[in-house]
Homo-oligomer: A and B are copies of this chain.
Amino acid sequence: MLMGMAGRPRSFDRDVALGAALEQFWRSGYERTSLAMLTSAMGVTPPSLYAAFGDKHRLFEEASALYFARTCEAVDRAAALPSAHEAIARMLDDTAHAHTDAATPAGCLMLTEPRLEAQREVLYAKIKDRLDKAVRDGDLAPAASTDHLAAFLVAVMRGMSGRARDGGTLEELLAIAETAIHALPRAGG
């Protein structure tokens, strides 16, 4: 009695449905994505969606958290590179490629969606931490203001995301990235 588990099993894969929701939010943003679009993309009826994910807002939070986790993986991989210049260059290169990948919607969900400011704050902190480490390593001039540099880099990534949404190509985004690299202080300077 009162054993929690019982009843008809779910007829869809929750992770697959979440991925479909993520892609829809990514493509159209939170506000422009209606429940009809979500249920169509996920192959799920509204009551099933609400039973599995709560409401639209919680579904978005779960989907954006998934996106954020993937992004953080790439950022952390880049940050692990030996020099700050390599790390930053890799991050910007990743950004250009990810934002123009034909297999996914253009641009970056985290950088485009207004309500994901907390995620952007974490991205900023990751970049600043990597720059601070570079200063400690003697890899970056001690006088470099890592907070200003990190804010600049997040702004550039954001600009790249916006340009990708406007139809910017990979080459165009790579050119922006390469130009931004020149704003970094020279090694040992």
Chain A positions near chain B (C-beta within 8 angstroms): 31-32, 111, 114, 117, 120, 145, 147-149, 151-152, 154-160, 162-163, 165-168, 172, 175-176, 178-183, 185
Task: Please measure, in the bound complex, the distance between the C-alpha atom of A157 and the C-alpha atom of B152, giving whole angstroms.
Answer: 10
- The contact sample of 6 A-B pairs, CB cut-off 8 A, is A145-B175, A148-B176, A152-B175, A155-B158, A158-B163, A183-B183
Task: Please measure, in the bound complex, the distance between the C-alpha atom of A165 and the C-alpha atom of B158, giving whole angstroms.
Answer: 12
On chain B, the residues within 8 Å of A145 by CB distance are: 175
Task: Please measure, in the bound complex, the distance between the C-alpha atom of A117 and the C-alpha atom of B22, giving whole angstroms.
Answer: 25
On chain B, the residues within 8 Å of A156 by CB distance are: 152, 155-156, 159
Asked if A178 and B120 make an inter-chain contact with CB atoms under 8 angstroms apart, the answer reads no
On chain B, the residues within 8 Å of A176 by CB distance are: 148, 151-152, 155
Min CB–CB distance A130 → chain B (angstroms): 16
